[in-house]
């Protein structure tokens, strides 16, 4: 079923969903099962699986020169999605990114997904590769998520890249896209960013999932701004608890978001790792309860390989 159909069927109830990362190359599906087994009892109708593009590594050659090699450290998103659907009987949402993909690569992945009866995708641009100064698209790839959304919509209308294909099979993908309550870091301002998000929705995106935030007011303001410019699709809040002290610096640096003052003050008072985790869990529970009380369509938790923490939050909220 499509993600948006779950929202409609829920009739105002707040659903729960989770995002998992593929294991590092060499790992197996058990890592995913170990994350999801403790969480499926909360009945997520869908589970997202992230996609990770290749990274450059430098290998020293016998000559002393370094060889630049591209490797994908976390492959397997499509297979993981199929395996999740098979084991748990829930829908899986693969993340699709522009980075590292030509349009034809994307088309072929969409064909595989369609054959596997996976008909939900989250369409993203992806970040710059480590060591690249900015995002670089493939020569025949999409520069922005908008192009990806349009390509998926084309296939939903039976339009493939090869113009000789007539009456192509119409796929039926439900398309999610990313949104940033605290603005995407490259956008000149929040209004400019919102216009780009609106372009994705106008092109056919069915719903938005937000970047994590720790201040619910940022999410409420974001939803109001979206509505005021005619973005009327469901906006799913993405949530992650603070669990370690160093994240007070690493999360803002990596995700370009701010921590609210009260949380920072509490966290700085904590004198051991258990105490900071308790503060983070309690904060996320309160955030979740408030969002649920306001009737958000779904609470989407970034599990980051820590199901025990997410389970404690889910137990307190559902």
Q: Which of 72, 73, 184, 289 binds ligand FAD (CB under 6 A)?
A: 184
* Residue ranges in 80-99 that form contacts with ligand FAD under rule CB under 6 A: 95, 97
Nearest to 98 by CA among 42, 158, 49, 145: 145
Q: Write the DSSP assignment of 197-231 as a string of letters.
A: HHHHHHHT--EEEEEE-S-HHHHHHHHHHHHHTT-
CA atoms within 13 A on the CB side of 282: 10
Q: Which of 92, 124, 223, 242 binds ligand FAD (CB under 6 A)?
A: 124
Q: Which of 45, 72, 119, 144 binds ligand FAD (CB under 6 A)?
A: 144
Q: H-type helices in 116-232, by residue range?
A: 145-156, 190-203, 216-228
**Residue 73 or 87 with smaller CB distance to ligand FAD:** 73
Binding span for ligand FAD by CB under 6 A among 125-133, 244-252, 266-274, 278-286: 125-133
* Residue ranges in 146-175 that form contacts with ligand FAD under rule CB under 6 A: 146
Q: Which of 15, 90, 93, 178 binds ligand FAD (CB under 6 A)?
A: 178
CB neighbourhood size of 42 (10 A): 18
- Under the criterion CB under 6 A, does residue 310 sit at the interface with ligand FAD? no
Q: Whole-number minimum distance, CB 68 to ligand FAD, in Å?
A: 20
Binding span for ligand FAD by CB under 6 A among 56-64, 183-191, 246-254, 275-283: 183-191
- Under the criterion CB under 6 A, does residue 55 sit at the interface with ligand FAD? no
* Residue ranges in 248-277 that form contacts with ligand FAD under rule CB under 6 A: none
- Under the criterion CB under 6 A, does residue 127 sit at the interface with ligand FAD? yes
CB 91 within 8 A of CB 85: yes
Binding span for ligand FAD by CB under 6 A among 119-127, 244-252, 265-273, 291-299: 119-127
> Could you tell me where the beta strands, DSSP code E, fall in the chain?
15-20, 46-49, 55-60, 66-71, 91-97, 120-124, 174-179, 207-212, 235-239, 298-302
CB neighbours of 215 closer than 8 A, spacing ≥ 6?
258, 259, 260
**Residue 147 or 307 with smaller CB distance to ligand FAD:** 147
Work out whether strand 55-60 and strand 66-71 pair parallel, antiparallel, or are unpaired: antiparallel
**Residues at the interface with ligand FAD (CB under 6 A):** 50-51, 95, 97, 124-127, 144-146, 178, 184, 186-187, 193, 196, 200, 209, 211, 238
């Amino acid at each position: 079923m499509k993600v948006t159909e779950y929202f409609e069927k829920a009739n105002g109830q707040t659903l729960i969903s989770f995002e998992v990362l593929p294991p590092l190359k060499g790992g197996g599906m058990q890592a995913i099962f170990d994350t999801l087994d403790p969480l499926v009892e909360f009945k997520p109708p869908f589970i997202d699986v992230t996609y990770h593009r290749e990274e450059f590594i430098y290998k020293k050659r016998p000559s002393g020169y370094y060889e630049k090699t591209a490797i994908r450290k976390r492959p397997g998103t499509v297979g993981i999605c199929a395996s999740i659907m098979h084991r748990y009987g829930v829908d899986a949402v693969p993340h699709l990114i522009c980075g590292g993909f030509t349009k034809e690569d994307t088309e072929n992945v969409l064909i595989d997904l369609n054959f596997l009866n996976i008909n939900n995708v989250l369409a993203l641009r992806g970040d710059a590769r480590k060591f690249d100064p900015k995002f670089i698209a493939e020569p025949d790839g999409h520069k922005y998520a908008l192009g990806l959304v349009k390509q998926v919509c084309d296939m939903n209308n039976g339009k493939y890249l090869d113009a000789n294909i007539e009456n192509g099979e119409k796929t039926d993908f439900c398309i999610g896209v990313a949104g940033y309550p605290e603005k995407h870091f490259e956008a000149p301002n929040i209004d400019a960013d919102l216009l780009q998000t609106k372009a994705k929705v106008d092109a056919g995106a069915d719903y938005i999932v937000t970047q994590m935030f720790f201040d619910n007011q940022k999410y409420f303001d974001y939803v109001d701004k979206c509505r005021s410019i005619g973005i009327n699709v469901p906006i799913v809040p993405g949530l992650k608890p603070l669990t370690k002290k160093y994240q007070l610096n690493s999360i803002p640096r990596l995700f370009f978001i701010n921590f609210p003052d009260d949380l920072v003050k509490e966290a700085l008072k904590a004198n051991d790792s258990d105490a900071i985790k308790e503060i983070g869990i309690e904060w996320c529970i309160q955030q979740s309860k408030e969002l649920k009380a306001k009737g958000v369509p779904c609470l989407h938790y970034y599990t980051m390989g820590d199901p025990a923490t997410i389970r404690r939050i889910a137990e307190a909220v559902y």
